[in-house]
Amino acid sequence: MFKKIYAHNVNFDDELEKSKIQNVVCLLTTNHYVSSQSMKIKNIQELQSLLDTPKSIVIIPHTNPDGDAIGSSLGWMHFLLQYSHHVEVISPNQYPDFLKWVPGSSAVSIFEENPTNAKGLIERADLIFTLDFNTLKRIGEMGVEVSKSTAKKIIIDHHQEPDEFADLTFSYPSLGSTCELVYHIIAGLGGGDQIDVNIATALYLGILTDTGSFRFPSVTPTTHRVVAHLIEEGANPTEISRLVKDTAHLGRLQLLGIALNNLRFDECLRTATITLSHVELTACNFQKGDSEGIVNYGLSISNCVLAVLMIEHPTDGFVKMSFRSKGNFSVNDFARENFSGGGHHNAAGGKSDLSLEDTHKLLIKKLEQCEEDLSKV
């Protein structure tokens, strides 16, 4: 499935070291870097049967798609195109400019911009793949069209507690990204040799961004083995990182400065909060993706175990919330119970229909009820 690794260019001090390296090489080549044994073989076989003949396929990422949503959708698209399927990627809305360099991104349709065309594609689809989300609520009006469709629906996602709208579900919350899951599915389908530079680049992007540049607890030795293979197949870590992180417009940096100035830390609750108002966003010429990663600054404070970013978005009509935590405090549970959200154990999203000020007050009130749990982390 994977290319062999050769050690003939390595200088060995002695035969023992050479033997150790050769054993590692043997292990990697015989186990193909990673195993799909954690995947349900039944699911893989069902998916294989669905893909045995060319199909009309629609791939959908979540609203406000991030690097993992775009990377997994386009990586999966490139793989399916190799098998003569007709594939369309339809995003519910626009996504940040710093993700529009990904191979295949020019082919992405935007539901909001041309709903008639998108509805037709969904209606005619044989298969619909939903990537990086597990509830149709995450795609707004588009969810109505998907639920009406007679196409087979397949979830590929790494968030907790998936809804039961799909005919086939690949849900692995233990993985750090949907892109890593897509890699395992490709491997499970016997397609490891089909991973080219386009697939490798797209999947590397999602793993990089959704693991916080490999900093989050979800990163495992297997994650690094997957990434090693993607780099072998042409993913360029330096260039991908540059395109994601070093292409900010001036307003984005100014917004970060305002966010840090607004940051407040509650010693008793061990919680950092950041607010950004509609006025502040407008002053900084806010663009999609500009608030990406800001919430993580709060967690860098010593003794902080929870960080919350609250954004009064100019078009959404509600306060968008991002939660990050350390240790055993589940922001997935907290967001689900209090702010109509969810996600992962240490990273989740939510929303509030209250004003920005009242949302902050409600947050503190809810956190005071969790003070004992926060103190134990």
- What is the CATH number for 143? 3.90.1640.10
pLDDT band at 37 (very low <50, low <70, confident <90, very high): very low
Query: Could you tell me if 204 and 230 are in contact, meaning their C-beta atoms sit under 8 angstroms apart?
Result: yes
pLDDT band at 47 (very low <50, low <70, confident <90, very high): very high
Quote the number of domains for the chain: 2
Task: Give the whole-angstrom CA distance, residue 202 versus residue 180.
Answer: 11
Q: What is the tens place of the pLDDT at every residue in 62-86? A: 999 999 999 999 999 999 999 999 9
Do 276 and 294 reside in the same domain of the chain?
A: yes
pLDDT at position 30 over 70: no
Task: Single out the residue in 213, 245, 277 at which a domain terminates.
Answer: 245
Do 145 and 240 reside in the same domain of the chain?
A: yes
Q: Looking at the domain assignment, is residue 25 inside a domain?
A: no
pLDDT at position 252 over 70: yes
pLDDT at position 15 over 50: no
In this prediction, residue 42 carries a pLDDT of 54
Q: Looking at the domain assignment, is residue 274 inside a domain?
A: yes
Q: Which domain holds residue 347?
A: 250-376
Do 131 and 50 reside in the same domain of the chain?
A: yes
Q: Mean pLDDT throughout 10-34?
A: 38
Secondary structure of the chain: what % helix, strand, coil (to 5)? 45, 15, 40
pLDDT band at 343 (very low <50, low <70, confident <90, very high): confident
CA atoms 208, 213, 218, 219: torsion sign:
positive
Mean pLDDT score of the chain: 88
Do 104 and 80 reside in the same domain of the chain?
A: yes
Q: Looking at the domain assignment, is residue 26 inside a domain?
A: no
Do 175 and 222 reside in the same domain of the chain?
A: yes
Do 194 and 295 reside in the same domain of the chain?
A: no
Q: Looking at the domain assignment, is residue 132 inside a domain?
A: yes
In this prediction, residue 28 carries a pLDDT of 36
Q: Mean pLDDT throughout 184-195?
A: 94
Do 91 and 118 reside in the same domain of the chain?
A: yes
Do 163 and 92 reside in the same domain of the chain?
A: yes
Do 198 and 237 reside in the same domain of the chain?
A: yes
SS3 308: strand
pLDDT at position 131 over 80: yes
In this prediction, residue 1 carries a pLDDT of 33
Task: Give the whole-angstrom CA distance, residue 139 versus residue 136.
Answer: 6
- Percentage above 90 pLDDT, the chain: 80
In this prediction, residue 84 carries a pLDDT of 95
pLDDT band at 299 (very low <50, low <70, confident <90, very high): very high
In this prediction, residue 217 carries a pLDDT of 87
Q: Listing from the earlier edge strand, what are the strands of the sheet with 264-266? A: 264-266, 271-276, 306-312, 319-325, 347-352, 342-343
Do 152 and 283 reside in the same domain of the chain?
A: no
User: What residues have CB less than 8 Å from 197, skipping those under 6 apart?
Assistant: 103, 233, 234, 235
Lookup: tokens for 68: 């993992």
pLDDT at position 255 over 90: yes
Q: Looking at the domain assignment, is residue 3 inside a domain?
A: no
Q: Looking at the domain assignment, is residue 66 inside a domain?
A: yes
pLDDT at position 41 over 90: no
In this prediction, residue 247 carries a pLDDT of 87
In this prediction, residue 317 carries a pLDDT of 82
Do 236 and 283 reside in the same domain of the chain?
A: no
Do 201 and 232 reside in the same domain of the chain?
A: yes
